[in-house]
Chains A and B, each alone.
Chain A
Amino acid sequence: MDSILILAVVSLSTIGLVSAVVLYFVAQEFKVIEDPGIGIVEESLPAANCGGCGFAGCRNFAEALVKKAEDEKSIEGLNCPVGGSDVMKKVAAILGLVASEAEPLIAVVRCNGSFGHAPAKVKYDGPGTCAFAHNLYAGTSGCAYGCLGLGDCVVSCNFDAIFMEPETGLPVVKENCIACGACVKACPRGIIELRTKGKKDRRIYVCCVNEEKGGPARKNCSVACIGCGKCVEVCPFEAITLIENLAYIDFDKCKLCRKCTPVCPTEAIHEINFPSRKEKEAEELSNKKTGCVH
Chain B
Amino acid sequence: MCALKTFRSGGVHPTENKLSEESSIEVFPLPRQVSIPVNQNLGAPGIPMVNKGDTVKVGQLIAKGEAFISSNVHSSVSGKVLKIDDMIDQTGFRRKAVVIKVEGDEWELSIDRSPGIRKELTLAREEIIKKIHDMGIVGMGGATFPSHVKLMVPDGKKAEFLIINGVECEPYLTADHRLMLEKGEEVLIGTMILMKGLGVEKAIIGIENNKPEAIRHMTELSKQYPNISIQALKVRYPQGGEKQLINALLGREVPSGKLPIEVGCVVNNVGTAFAVYEAVQKNKPLIERIVTVTGKTVKKPSNFLVRIGTPVQELLERVQADLEITGKVVSGGPMMGKALNSLEVPVVKGTSGLLLFTEVDSSRTEMKACIRCGRCVRVCPMGLEPILLAQYSENNMWDMAEANLVMDCMECGSCHYTCPSGRPLLDYIRLGKNKVGQNIRNRGKK
Chain A bound to chain B? yes
User: At the interface, yes or no: A122 with Cβ under 8 Å from chain B?
Assistant: yes
Q: Is B431 an interface residue (CB 8 A)?
A: yes
Say yes or no: A136-B86 contact (C-beta < 8 A), given A125-B362, A144-B92, A216-B94: no
Please provide the chain A residues from 130 to 144 with a CB less than 8 Å away from any CB of chain B in the complex. Answer: 131-132, 135-139, 142, 144
Once the chains are docked, how many angstroms separate the CA of A131 from the CA of B91?
A: 16
B interface footprint on A207-242 (CB within 8 Å = 1, 0 otherwise): 000001100100000000000000000000000000
User: Of A121, A126, A212, which one neighbours B86 at CB under 8 angstroms?
Assistant: A212
Chain B residues whose CB sits within 8 angstroms of the CB of A127 once the complex forms: 367, 424, 427-428
Q: Which residue from chain A places its CB closest to the CB of B88 in the assembled complex?
A: A142
A131 to B432, CA, bound (A): 10
One of A126, A137, A139, A142 near B424 (C-beta < 8 A): A126
Interface of chain B residues 177 through 194 with chain A (CB within 8 A): none
Bound-state CA distance A225–B93 (Å) is: 18
Nearest chain B CB to A116 CB, angstrom units = 20
Find chain A residues with CB under 8 A from B424 CB: 126-127
Q: Give chain B nearest CB distance to A245 CB in angstroms.
A: 11
The answer to whether B94 touches A212, judged by C-beta atoms less than 8 angstroms apart, is: yes
Q: With the chains together, A121 CA to B341 CA distance in Å?
A: 8
Is there contact, CB below 8 Å, between B342 and A138?
Answer: no
Q: Which residues of A contact B434 (CB under 8 A)?
A: 135
Q: Are A139 and B428 in contact (CB-based, < 8 A)?
A: no
Q: Is B364's beta carbon under 8 Å from chain A?
A: yes
Min distance, Cβ A273 to any Cβ of chain B, angstroms: 36
- For the complex formed, measure the closest distance between the CB of A78 and the CB atoms of chain B, giving whole angstroms: 26
Q: Is the CB of B86 within 8 A of A142?
A: no
- Inter-chain contact total with CB atoms closer than 8 Å: 47
- Given the interface contacts A216-B86, A216-B94, does A142 sit within 8 Å of B341 by beta carbon? yes
Cβ–Cβ contact B92 & A138, under 8 A: yes
B-side contacts of A131, CB under 8 Å: 431
Instruction: Pick the contact of A137: B341, B362, B428 (CB < 8 A).
Output: B341
> Complex formed: what's the CA distance from A125 to B363 in Å?
7
The CA-CA distance from A126 to B428 in the complex, in Å, is 10
B430 and A135 contacting across the interface, CB-CB below 8 Å: yes
Measured in the bound complex, the distance between the Cα atoms of B428 and A137 in whole Å is 15
List B contacts of A142 (CB < 8 A).
Answer: 88, 92, 341-342
Question: Is the CB–CB distance between A122 and B342 below 8 Å?
Answer: yes
Q: A121-B341, A121-B342, A122-B341 are in contact. Are A138 and B427 (CB under 8 A)?
A: no
- Which of A121, A138, A139 has the most chain B CB atoms closer than 10 A to its own CB? A138
For the complex formed, measure the closest distance between the CB of A187 and the CB atoms of chain B, giving whole angstroms: 15
> With A and B bound together, what is the CA distance between A137 and B331 in angstroms?
14
Q: Which residues of A contact B86 (CB under 8 A)?
A: 212-213, 216
Chain A residues, CB < 8 A from B427: 126-127, 132, 135-136
Contact of B91 among A121, A137, A216 (CB under 8 A): A137
Q: How far is the CA of A125 from the CA of B93 in the complex (A)?
A: 18
Closest Cβ–Cβ distance, residue A284 to chain B (whole Å): 37
Minimum Cβ distance to chain A for residue B417 (Å) = 15
**How far is the CB of A224 from the nearest CB of chain B, in Å?**
13
A132 touches B92 (CB 8 A): no
Cβ contacts A81-125/B at 8 Å (1 or 0 each): 000000000000000000000000000000000000000011001
In the complex the two chains form, what is the Cα distance from A121 to B342 in whole Å? Answer: 8
A104 to nearest B CB, angstroms? 29
- Min CB distance B333 to A, Å, is 18
User: In whole angstroms, how far apart are the Cα atoms of A212 and B87 in the complex?
Assistant: 12
Chain A residues with CB under 8 Å of B428's CB are 127, 132
Instruction: Give residues of chain A (142-168) contacting chain B, Cβ–Cβ below 8 Å.
Output: 142, 144
Query: A residues within 8 A CB of B92?
Result: 122, 137-139, 142, 144
A interface footprint on B411-440 (CB within 8 Å = 1, 0 otherwise): 000000000000010011011001000000
Binary per-residue interface labels of chain B (53-89) against chain A in the complex, 1 for a CB within 8 Å, 0 otherwise: 0000000000000000000000000000000001010
CA distance A122 to B329 in the complex (A): 11
Contacts of B364 in A (CB 8 A): 125-126
Specify which chain B residues have a CB less than 8 angstroms from the CB of A125 in the assembled complex: 362-364
Asked if B91 and A138 sit within 8 Å, CB to CB, the answer is yes
Q: Can you identify 10 A-B contacts, CB atoms within 8 angstroms?
A: A131-B431, A132-B428, A135-B430, A136-B427, A137-B339, A137-B341, A142-B88, A142-B92, A142-B341, A144-B94
Give me 4 other A-B pairs in contact (C-beta within 8 A), A142-B341, A216-B94 excluded: A132-B431, A135-B427, A138-B341, A142-B92
Closest 4 interchain pairs by CB? A138-B92, A137-B92, A135-B431, A138-B93
